[in-house]
Amino acid sequence: MLTGKPAPQKSSSDLLDVSMASATSRYIEEQQATQQLIMEQQDQQLEMVSGSIRVLKHMSGRVGEELDEQGIMLDAFVHEMDHTQSRMDGVLRKMAKVSHMTSDRRQWCAIVVLLGVLLLVLILLFSL
């Protein structure tokens, strides 16, 4: 400085300390910049994941609504099938009854016709 005293000589260890401090400072700054970049990339990835989660939430809500609607439709279908099954059972019972009556009627008709033929044969036999 200007006081007339000779400027103190910097020792090699002082220069080394300054150089190390400068290098350490640069290293810390680089590490902080790298960490900041990594955090920004992670933030972007988290935003993308968050968007995907929102889409999945919306889709799962729609799937749930669709399942509820289909459940209601299936309940109505089961009710209609039960009603149709009851009607079919009734119709089948009626058809069995008609079928049974038809075979009985045929048998009675055959009996009456055969009795008529037998009477005719007897009348012809005794009239001769």
Structure tokens at 112: 């009456």
Could you give the CA distance from residue 67 to residue 74 in angstroms, rounded to a whole number?
10
Could you give the CA distance from residue 31 to residue 114 in angstroms, rounded to a whole number?
118
| Structural domain contains residue 48 | yes
| Structural domain contains residue 79 | yes
Q: Place 3 in a pLDDT band, splitting at 50, 70 and 90.
A: low
CB contact at 8 A, 102 and 95: no
20-74 tens-digit pLDDT: 788 888 999 999 999 999 999 999 999 999 999 999 999 999 999 999 999 999 9
| Structural domain contains residue 60 | yes
Q: Which of 3-7, 14-18, 19-23, 72-76 has the lowest mean pLDDT?
A: 3-7
Structure tokens at 41: 């990339």
CB contact at 8 A, 1 and 7: yes
Tokens 């048998």: give the residue.
107
The structure's pTM equals 0.46
Q: Place 1 in a pLDDT band, splitting at 50, 70 and 90.
A: very low
> What is the span of the domain harbouring residue 86?
14-100
Average pLDDT, rounded, for the chain: 87
CB contact at 8 A, 18 and 12: no
Widest pairwise Cα distance in the chain: 183
Quote the number of domains for the chain. Answer: 1
